[in-house]
């Protein structure tokens, strides 16, 4: 089954609003590709100017974080209705930086996946193991547990619209990329798990990205693998190189 490729930038905590608009201008012609879903996941303060800057182009806008309530006394948080109203389509959930630095656990992450679907946002659900788990050889069990918990109560129809990003923590921002075979092994495992938890049609439909030091030099090989449908890109999404990844 042909799945549509999805190349998403995760800008993390980079780009002031004016820098964000300038970057959109730099990338505008470089990221043109009608066969690929191109997404910029940007800091909350950049959402409004970025939505405006990419209007009329093939670029979709995503957010990096949100909270599960619609409104109220949650100082510092941003809600799904706020994101929707601003023109956001995708939402990153469960990134290892949110899990490790901000203490988000699988219960909260599962609630966020539910809330995103209920609000009409498309989740990009992240999973991935630490270097210690990779070395211990227990990474498959870890990924299985993360995905099983994070998708608790999520329907097959919803999973068909889901994007899962496999991001080994040891490859994030380190310059050390998982080899294409290592990435394919886990992305294939995730697809098998979805077939077990749901059914084959759902497993065939879910899109799975690799993330972790993906760049213009290694993207084509990673994306050539049958179970890798796209990339979630940090550092290289802030540079003209992002266009080369979109067109790899």
Three-class secondary structure of residue 126 per DSSP: strand
Instruction: Compute the distance between CA of residue 61 and CA of residue 107 in angstroms, rounded to an integer.
Output: 26
Instruction: Compute the distance between CA of residue 28 and CA of residue 59 in angstroms, rounded to an integer.
Output: 9
Of 158 and 218, which has the nearer Cβ to ligand 13P?
A: 218
Select the residue interacting with ligand 13P from 235, 242, 246, 248 (CB under 6 A): 235
Q: Is 182 in the site for ligand 13P (CB under 6 A)?
A: no
Q: Is 42 in the site for ligand 13P (CB under 6 A)?
A: no
Q: Is residue 31 within 8 Å of residue 238, measured between CB atoms?
A: no
Q: Is 233 in the site for ligand 13P (CB under 6 A)?
A: yes
Q: Is 212 in the site for ligand 13P (CB under 6 A)?
A: yes
CA atoms within 13 A on the CB side of 124: 33
- The closest alpha carbon to 15, from 39, 37, 35, 41, belongs to 41
Select the residue interacting with ligand 13P from 123, 211, 230, 243 (CB under 6 A): 211
Which member of 95, 97, 129, 184 is catalytic?
A: 95
Q: Is 146 in the site for ligand 13P (CB under 6 A)?
A: no
Phi, psi of 136 (to 5 degrees): -75, -15
Q: Is 209 in the site for ligand 13P (CB under 6 A)?
A: no
Paired sense of beta strands 207-210 and 163-166, if any: parallel
- The closest alpha carbon to 25, from 69, 62, 60, 57, belongs to 57
Sites for ligand 13P among residues 95-114 (CB under 6 A) = 95
Residue 166 Cβ vs ligand 13P, minimum distance, rounded to whole Å? 11
Instruction: Compute the distance between CA of residue 116 and CA of residue 64 in angstroms, rounded to an integer.
Output: 12
Of 97 and 106, which has the nearer Cβ to ligand 13P?
A: 97
Of 110 and 209, which has the nearer Cβ to ligand 13P?
A: 209
Three-class secondary structure of residue 119 per DSSP: helix
Asked about 77 being catalytic, the answer comes back as: no
Using only C-alpha atoms, what is the Rg of the chain?
A: 17
Asked about 167 being catalytic, the answer comes back as: yes
Which member of 64, 97, 104, 167 is catalytic?
A: 167
Q: Is 214 in the site for ligand 13P (CB under 6 A)?
A: yes
**Which of 102-110, 135-143, 148-156, 212-220 is the region at the interface with ligand 13P (rule: CB under 6 A)?**
212-220
Select the residue interacting with ligand 13P from 4, 120, 161, 173 (CB under 6 A): 173
Instruction: Compute the distance between CA of residue 81 and CA of residue 98 in angstroms, rounded to an integer.
Output: 21
- Residues recognised as catalytic: 95, 167
Which residue ranges make up the site for ligand 13P (CB under 6 A)? 10, 95, 167, 172-173, 211-214, 232-236
């Amino acid at each position: 089954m042909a799945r549509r490729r999805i190349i998403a930038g995760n800008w993390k905590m980079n780009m002031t609003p004016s820098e964000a608009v300038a970057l959109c201008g730099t990338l505008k012609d470089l990221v043109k590709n009608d066969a690929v879903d191109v997404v910029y996941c940007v800091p909350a303060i950049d959402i409004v100017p970025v939505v405006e800057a990419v209007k009329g182009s093939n670029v979709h806008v995503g957010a990096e974080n949100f909270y599960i309530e619609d409104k109220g006394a949650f100082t510092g948080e941003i809600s799904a209705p706020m994101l929707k109203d601003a023109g956001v389509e995708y939402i990153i959930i469960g990134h290892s930086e949110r899990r490790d630095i901000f203490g988000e656990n699988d219960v909260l992450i599962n609630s966020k996946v539910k809330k995103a679907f209920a609000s009409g946002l498309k989740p990009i659900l992240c999973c991935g193991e630490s270097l210690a788990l990779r070395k211990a050889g227990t990474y498959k069990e870890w990924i299985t547990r993360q995905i099983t918990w994070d998708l608790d109560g999520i329907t097959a129809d919803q999973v068909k619209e889901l994007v899962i990003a496999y991001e080994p923590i040891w490859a994030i921002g380190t310059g050390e990329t998982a080899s294409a075979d290592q990435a394919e092994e886990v992305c294939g495992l995730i697809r098998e798990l979805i077939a077990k938890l749901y059914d084959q049609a759902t497993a065939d439909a879910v899109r799975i990205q690799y993330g972790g030091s993906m760049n213009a030099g290694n993207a084509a090989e990673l994306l050539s693998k049958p179970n890798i449908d796209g990339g979630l890109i940090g550092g290289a999404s802030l540079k003209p190189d992002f266009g080369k990844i979109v067109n790899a």
